[in-house]
Amino acid sequence: MDATLAGILADAVLTLHAGVAAFVVLGLAAILAGGAAGWGAVRDPRFRALHLAAIAVVVVQAWCGVECPLTTLEMALRERAGDVTYEGSCIAHWVGRLLYHDAPPWVFVAAYSAFGAAVAAAWWWFPPRSRNSHAPLTAD
């Protein structure tokens, strides 16, 4: 694989990774705000299942000490591109700063676990409901 292509693919993987992280974080914010405001879309079972699955994968990986496959793929592509830091491009530099922080592993395990617990609590506070349900979509 060409080094330039590997760098472009690494940036694409990093951008995807940031998108997944945004989906998890902003998804919870939307569930909480939308649940309180009675927005039906945040109770869609498909959205909620995907959101819960996304944070569950992160929590399980953190507890097991497994590096995220997106991080592994990105690093492999960066190595192939000959770029060992996140400063290889604008996308890598800025999006990387949002995703990666220096802290002991237990900090991430605790943070991911707490966030996962918040997602689970939101499932209970504002349970998903089918759009075909005749029940009103209101906050309980």
* CA distances for 83 relative to 17, 68, 77, 92, 131, angstroms: 18, 19, 9, 11, 48
At 104, is the pLDDT very low, low, confident or very high (cuts 50, 70, 90)? confident
Cβ atoms of residues 122 and 32 within 8 Å:
yes
For 123, other C-beta atoms within 10 Å of its C-beta total 15
Residue 138 has pLDDT above 70, yes or no: no
At 26, is the pLDDT very low, low, confident or very high (cuts 50, 70, 90)? very high
80-99 per-position pLDDT tens digit:
998 765 544 455 566 667 77
pLDDT given at position 132:
62
49 vs 1, more confident: 49
At 135, is the pLDDT very low, low, confident or very high (cuts 50, 70, 90)? low
Mean pLDDT over all residues of the chain? 84
Tokens representing 73 are 């793929």
Any alpha helices (H) in 1-140, and if so which ranges? 3-37, 45-64, 69-81, 90-99, 105-125
